Structure 1
Amino acid sequence: MIKPIDFTSDCANCAALCCLSLAFDQGDSFAHNKAAGTPCHNLSGFGCAIHKDLTSQGYSGCVAYQCLGAGQRVTALFDITWRDDPKMTAPMMDAFRQMRAVQSVLQLLDAASALPLPTLQEQERRLWLNQLTPDHWTPRALETFENEGVEAAIKTWLRGLAKFVPAA
């Protein structure tokens, strides 16, 4: 049996990886420009200094963003964070990007369980889920996921499920 996957962001157990890794442009969703790899100027430690007022301060994009649980999973992979050692910034940012992709694919595979899949496709779906079980991730495994085409292969396979989506 495949255990349920938790896609909930847990900011309390994360090293503020979205506030570090993501870039954004000033506009309707963000009140200032921020380059990837530069901590948000609202970041205080690993928390947001204006979290309770994000929308009113012009940061509705922060409210809308979901890492799907990637942040806390990546933070748990490392003994120290980018705050402790700036040399950890790039490795943690890479792992965050990769884990976000894993979580996104897992979410699609999880949603596919609602489709009326034939036995073969359901077995394949379960094999993909088992291959991406969150319990085995390391920075190296995340690199393999990205560099060896696992994500692309799963997305190609998922596109093949379109014929099983019931007509509206």
Structure 2
Amino acid sequence: MNPEFLPDCSNCAALCCLALAFDADEMFGHDKPAGLPCHNLDGFSCSIHADLADRGYRGCVAFDCLGAGQRVTALFSEDWQKRPKLTAPMMEAFRQMRAVQSLHQMLLTAGALPLPDDTRAELRDRIADLEVAKTGLAALARFDPAEAKRWLKSLAPLLRPAG
């Protein structure tokens, strides 16, 4: 896997344990609304991390932030635990960064397609736009993923067999 997308929990402010909502079911052991820290969170570590699946938290095991957590944490000078006013901005940045990381993965995958030269050049431009979006909070907030999604959908004819 591309290291660009690997999560690094040791450099994250436990954003997935804060920002994500879940309902008690076979994947999660309790209900948790977005914005409320998981009751298993101890500082920025999960107190049951070694036993997540056995304790009823297979959803936590399956979740992948695609490296968004540590990227967002690095964009803030403090964290939501030290400054609770940062809770909402960090959650929003986490949501946006995860979308950017997901789009980045899709664009890199599109690079394996037999693209015409002009389309390949446009792909490079779109990847560069994503890289800019990752450079700071203002750039991240300005980035509109809708255009990149539309462009990716426009590649669908390249996936259909000739016939």
Q: Same fold by TM (over 0.5)?
A: yes
The match for 1:141 is: 139
Deviation of the 1:140 alpha carbon: 1.4
| TM-score, length of structure 1 as denominator length | 0.91
Q: Which moved more, 1:22-31 or 1:129-138?
A: 129-138
- In the alignment, structure 1 residue 131 sits paired with structure 2 residue 129: yes
- In the alignment, structure 1 residue 153 sits paired with structure 2 residue 147: yes
d(CA) in 2 for partners of 1:120 and 1:165?
A: 17
Deviation of the 1:137 alpha carbon: 2.0
- Percent of paired sites with the same residue: 55
The match for 1:66 is: 64
1:86-123 superposed Cα distances (whole Å, 9 cap, x missing partner):
01101101100110111011011011111111111111
| Structure 2, unaligned runs of 5 or more | none
The match for 1:103 is: 101
d(CA) in 2 for partners of 1:67 and 1:166?
A: 31
Deviation of the 1:141 alpha carbon: 1.3
Match of 2:118 among 113, 117, 120: 120
What RMSD in Å do the two structures reach over aligned CA positions?
A: 1.4
> 1:116 is matched by which residue type in structure 2?
P
Match of 2:51 among 42, 50, 53: 53
> 2:126 is matched by which residue type in structure 1?
W
SS of 2:5's equivalent in the other structure is coil
d(CA) in 2 for partners of 1:97 and 1:136?
A: 13
Q: Which moved more, 1:132-141 or 1:64-73?
A: 132-141
Q: How does 1:22-101 map to 2 (within 5 A)?
A: 22-101=20-99
The runs of at least 4 aligned residues of structure 1 exceeding 4 Å deviation read none
Aligned residue-pair number: 160
